[in-house]
A and B are shown apart, each in its own frame.
Chain A
Amino acid sequence: MSAWRILLGKELLDVVRDRRTLLLTVLLPVLLYPGMLLLMGAIVAAGTLRLKNEPLTVAVVGAPTLALLARQPTPAKTTFVLHTRAEGEALLKDQKIAAVVQAPDDVDVALRTGQQAVVTVLYTKRFDRSMEALDRLKPVLEAINAATLKGRLDTLQLELGFVQPVKTEPVDLDFQKDLGPLIASRLLPIILLTMLIIGALYPAVDLTAGEKERGTLETLLVSAVRPVDVMAAKYLTVSLVAVATALANLAAMGVTFGMGISFGGPATTTFHLTVGQVLTMLVCLVPAALLLSGVSLAVASTARTFKEGQSLMSPVMLACLAPALLSQMPGIELSPVTALIPLLNVALLIKASVLGTATLVEVALTSLSVLAFAALALKIAASAFNSEVFRFGGTEGWKTLFGRKTV
């Protein structure tokens, strides 16, 4: 059996028995997403329902305002109480009432004579109950407005189109009923790339700097094995862990969205990944795992201790996460140009895949681009493993990463 295969077996056995790696790769995604998203959905739904059923008191300033509101049925669980405006504002500040409504004293005359009456609703965004009161008052006032307008138009024998010649009616065909794909397109690129990075960085540090610290690397390198075999085994192990992490996350997200998440609104958020979408993501996630494994191994190999390795990984993680965040910026979409930018292209391809807009050319460009950068990262990692920096942790500086080769 070749040395790299013996070492790969050893590394995988070591990794499989490492509780921290298992926690990160399997348990975290399997438990976290369904738990987190379902719990979040349940909390939001419960909160929304509680607010809808909560009795609210609204201060009404003056009898004319009360008479105006009486033109429509009072919203459920809502009580109107007469107060002065000053009293209303003070009570609102103390959260004893949810809103204050004030119409002009001559509102009845204004409405009868074709004039406009400005009705003021005082509320605050600081309290959910106040926002809920506004939501309850708006339909009431809109209904009064519509009824008054209809009366005026009827008197003049005019149609509604006279006062609203052009009516805008946006129709969102894709997301009108189900927000699942939209939410997934926002969440998946960030979560998958984050977990891919975590999946690569932790084992890379453990298998290089960690081994150096534990003294096992020196033991290994004085046996009859070439550094390139050590590198190949570690590279494949880190890549496999990274891919496994991404797959576990993808599966957990798929199951969670497949079950459907209700955020309290009328629509239940559901999302089902098709085989094609999963394959598209894999086509870019596997090369991305190879790229991140190469980068993290090259960087981690220069550290002398696990702690030092973790410190070195912080900027790497930030640099790798930046493209995932950038992919969520307005106007940034997958194109023949962005498909060439490593990691940004992966995030954008995941997003496009979820929304069903990815093309074959974009998939091919993304995969080839990431593979090319992965090959470069592998070359740098190989240089690192051939250098004395790898063996003894940067005693001669980073220049040796690309300089002195040893046997």
Chain B
Amino acid sequence: MAAIEVDSIVRDFGSTRAVDGVSFHVEAGEVVGLLGPNGAGKTTTLRVLAGLLTPASGHARLAGLSVIEHPLEARRHLGFLTASTGLYDRLTGREVLQVFGRLQKLDEATLAARIEALVKELELEAFIDKRCGALSSGQKQRISIARAVVHDPSAYVLDEPTATLDPVASRDILELVRRAKARHKAVLFSTHRMEEAEYLCTRLLFMRAGKIVARGTSAELLAQSGKATLTDAFLHFAGALS
């Protein structure tokens, strides 16, 4: 059973087909990169996987649980992170973690232990009790990472999490992925940064116009495209190169 499973998903917005029969899976311990130009359908696919959007047809499962039929149970296995930190400015970092931990049904003792572990791991000591509105972008990003994984999910879905970050803050995300891989988590990672994809991902999926047009390791994609770099391969699959 794959930790993340997407099967023949179709999703329309009005007369536009945003996702057209996309299928893939991510096994535990795998980091799969989801690549593609803007409007390719990456975010829609990830939102379907997170239960934010309902597919016209197809299935999405987390830890074998359908996100449509068993949304709450499925989402207990999901750690979802985007470029937006999505924090409450008037709450402290600790309060944010407590709210999301409780929503994931962690008991108070487990939650307290989990928060302390994350504080040490992500080096949050200096600002965990400050209101999020007063934190720097990098500090917010680290609280956001802690929020996404406070319940120790088995599947990580990261939607362009480094898109708006500077290299220092991006490093925290890459470190999160590296640690997740080491802990045998399944990671689905959407990005525009080819060096990140090459560095982190065991496999790559390339989307264009709502479909997966190429898949494989970075070496396999280079071979399929006949290009020397992943950036050129990206341009090739995006149709920007002849």
| A1-33 interface with B by 8 A CB criterion | 1, 3, 6-7, 9-10, 13-14, 17-18
Complex Cα spacing A222 to B104, Å: 11
**Residue in A closest to B99 when the chains form the complex, CB atoms:** A10
Complex Cα spacing A71 to B21, Å: 106
In the complex, whether B86 has a CB less than 8 A from a CB of chain A is yes
Stretch at the interface among A44-52, A77-85, A211-219, A317-325: A211-219
| A341-396 interface with B by 8 A CB criterion | 388, 391-392, 395-396
In the complex, whether B95 has a CB less than 8 A from a CB of chain A is yes
**Residue in A closest to B102 when the chains form the complex, CB atoms:** A6
In the complex, whether B78 has a CB less than 8 A from a CB of chain A is yes
Complex Cα spacing A124 to B14, Å: 68
**Residue in A closest to B95 when the chains form the complex, CB atoms:** A13
Complex Cα spacing A3 to B71, Å: 14
Q: Which residues of A contact B105 (CB under 8 A)?
A: 224
Choice from B71, B78, B86, B103 contacting A216 with Cβ under 8 Å: B86
In the complex, whether B75 has a CB less than 8 A from a CB of chain A is yes
B99 near A6 with CB under 8 A, answer: yes
In the complex, whether A226 has a CB less than 8 A from a CB of chain B is yes
A218 near B54 with CB under 8 A, answer: no
In the complex, whether B223 has a CB less than 8 A from a CB of chain A is no
B86 near A218 with CB under 8 A, answer: yes
A391 near B52 with CB under 8 A, answer: yes
Per-residue contact bits, chain A 309-350, to B (CB 8 Å; 1 contact, 0 not): 000000000000000000000000000000000000000000
Choice from B51, B68, B82, B131 contacting A215 with Cβ under 8 Å: B82
B54 near A214 with CB under 8 A, answer: no
Choice from A7, A391, A396, A405 contacting B13 with Cβ under 8 Å: A396
Complex Cα spacing A3 to B75, Å: 14
Choice from A18, A395, A406 contacting B52 with Cβ under 8 Å: A406
The residue in A17, A18, A391 that gathers the most chain B C-beta atoms within 10 A of its C-beta is A17
B84 near A14 with CB under 8 A, answer: no
| B41-70 interface with A by 8 A CB criterion | 50-54, 67-68
In the complex, whether A223 has a CB less than 8 A from a CB of chain B is yes
Interface size of A by Cβ–Cβ distance < 8 Å?
A: 31
B147 near A219 with CB under 8 A, answer: yes
Complex Cα spacing A202 to B215, Å: 48
A223 near B103 with CB under 8 A, answer: yes
B67 near A215 with CB under 8 A, answer: no
Choice from A14, A223, A395, A396 contacting B100 with Cβ under 8 Å: A223
Known A-B contacts A10-B99, A406-B51; the reply to A222 vs B90 at CB < 8 A is no
Complex Cα spacing A214 to B86, Å: 6
Complex Cα spacing A219 to B85, Å: 8
B51 near A3 with CB under 8 A, answer: no
| A216-260 interface with B by 8 A CB criterion | 216, 218-226
In the complex, whether B189 has a CB less than 8 A from a CB of chain A is no
B50 near A222 with CB under 8 A, answer: yes
Q: Which residues of B contact A307 (CB under 8 A)?
A: none
Q: Which residues of A contact B151 (CB under 8 A)?
A: 224
A406 near B91 with CB under 8 A, answer: no
Choice from B72, B78, B88, B144 contacting A226 with Cβ under 8 Å: B72
Query: Which of A's residues lie within 8 Å of B, judged by CB?
Result: 1, 3, 6-7, 9-10, 13-14, 17-18, 214-216, 218-226, 388, 391-392, 395-396, 404-407
Q: A218-B84, A406-B54, A407-B67 are in contact. List 11 more A-B contacts (CB 8 A).
A: A3-B103, A6-B102, A7-B103, A17-B90, A215-B82, A215-B84, A219-B84, A221-B50, A223-B75, A225-B72, A391-B52
Sample 13 A-B pairs with CB under 8 A, ordered by A number: A9-B99, A10-B95, A17-B131, A214-B86, A214-B89, A219-B147, A222-B51, A222-B78, A223-B103, A223-B104, A224-B103, A224-B104, A391-B53
Query: Which of B's residues lie within 8 Å of A, judged by CB?
Result: 13-14, 50-54, 67-68, 71-73, 75-76, 78, 80, 82, 84-91, 95, 99-100, 102-105, 131, 144, 147, 151
7 closest A-B pairs by beta carbon, nearest first, are A215-B84, A219-B86, A407-B71, A17-B90, A215-B86, A222-B80, A222-B50
